[in-house]
C-alpha cells in the first residue's frame, strides 16, 4: 500500500488533520482539500485512486461533486463521510457509484475496509482501461479487409457466408481470419468477440462504411 495517495475533501480542518495523520500512519500518502472547488482546481479525476469525500460542505457539496465527476465520465472510487446522513442519501450516492457511505465519527476499521474496497475498484478500472487501449492498438493494425472479416466473425457468420458477402473465396477468408486472430492476440473466438466488444470495433466499422 505504501506510496498510494488518498485524496480527502472535507471542510472540517480538525477532521482533515486527524484523518491525514491516521492514513499516513497506515502507509498512505494524503492530499487534503478544504473544499470541492479546491479539489477540482488541483486534481485530474483519472489520477484519483480513492476519494474520501464529505457530504455536507458550503457552496459545492459532496453529492454535487460526485454528480459532476460522473457527468465528466470520470470513474472515481468515492467513500462518503457524513455527520448526518440518511438512508435515501446513502442510496443515491451508492447508485451513482460510491464505494461506501460512512457516518462520522468514522470507525477506523470500517474506514480501512472501505479504502481497501475503493483501491481494488480503482485497480480493476485501471486494468480495464489498459486492456481496452491494448485492444484498440491491435485493432488499428488490421487492414480494411481484415476489419470486414472481423465484423463477420464477431457477428457469428460462417466463413462461407463472409466470403460470399465480400465477393471472395472461403480460403481467402480463412487466411484473413487467421491474421485477425494473430493481430488481435486472440486465442479463441470468445477472446476475439470480447476484444471487439471492448473497443466497439463493429461500431467503428459501421462508421467507416457510412463515411
pLDDT for the residue numbered 66: 92
Q: Which domain range does residue 152 map to? A: 141-210
Query: Domain of 15: which CATH number?
Result: 3.40.50.2300
Given a cut of 60, whether residue 201 has pLDDT beyond it is no
Local confidence band at 211 (pLDDT 50, 70, 90 cut-offs): very low
pLDDT for the residue numbered 85: 65
CA distance 114 to 96: 16
Q: In terms of domains, do 52 and 27 share one?
A: yes
Local confidence band at 83 (pLDDT 50, 70, 90 cut-offs): confident
7-25: per-residue pLDDT in tens?
A: 999 999 999 999 999 999 9
Q: End of a domain among 96, 130, 164?
A: 130
Examine residue 178 and state whether it is found in any structural domain, yes or no. Answer: yes
State the pTM of this model.
0.73
Q: Over range 45-51, report the average pLDDT.
A: 88
Amino acid at each position: 500500500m505504501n506510496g498510494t495517495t488518498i485524496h480527502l475533501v472535507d471542510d472540517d480542518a480538525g477532521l482533515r488533520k486527524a484523518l491525514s495523520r491516521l492514513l499516513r500512519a497506515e502507509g498512505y500518502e494524503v492530499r487534503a482539500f478544504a473544499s470541492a472547488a479546491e479539489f477540482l482546481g488541483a486534481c485530474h479525476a483519472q489520477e484519483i485512486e480513492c476519494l474520501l469525500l464529505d457530504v455536507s460542505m458550503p457552496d459545492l457539496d459532496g453529492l454535487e461533486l460526485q454528480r459532476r465527476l460522473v457527468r465528466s465520465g470520470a470513474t472515481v472510487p468515492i467513500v462518503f463521510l457524513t455527520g448526518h446522513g440518511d438512508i435515501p442519501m446513502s442510496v443515491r450516492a451508492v447508485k451513482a457509484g460510491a464505494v461506501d457511505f460512512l457516518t462520522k465519527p468514522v470507525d477506523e476499521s470500517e474506514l480501512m475496509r472501505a479504502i481497501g474496497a475503493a483501491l481494488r475498484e480503482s485497480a480493476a478500472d485501471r486494468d480495464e482501461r489498459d486492456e481496452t487501449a491494448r485492444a484498440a492498438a491491435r485493432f488499428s493494425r488490421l487492414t480494411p479487409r481484415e476489419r470486414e472479416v472481423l465484423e463477420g466473425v464477431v457477428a457469428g457468420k460462417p466463413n462461407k457466408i463472409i466470403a460470399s458477402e465480400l465477393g471472395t473465396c472461403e480460403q481467402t477468408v480463412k487466411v484473413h481470419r487467421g491474421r485477425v486472430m494473430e493481430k488481435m492476440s486472440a486465442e479463441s473466438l470468445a477472446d476475439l468477440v470480447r476484444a471487439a466488444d471492448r473497443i466497439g470495433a463493429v461500431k467503428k466499422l459501421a462508421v467507416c462504411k457510412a463515411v
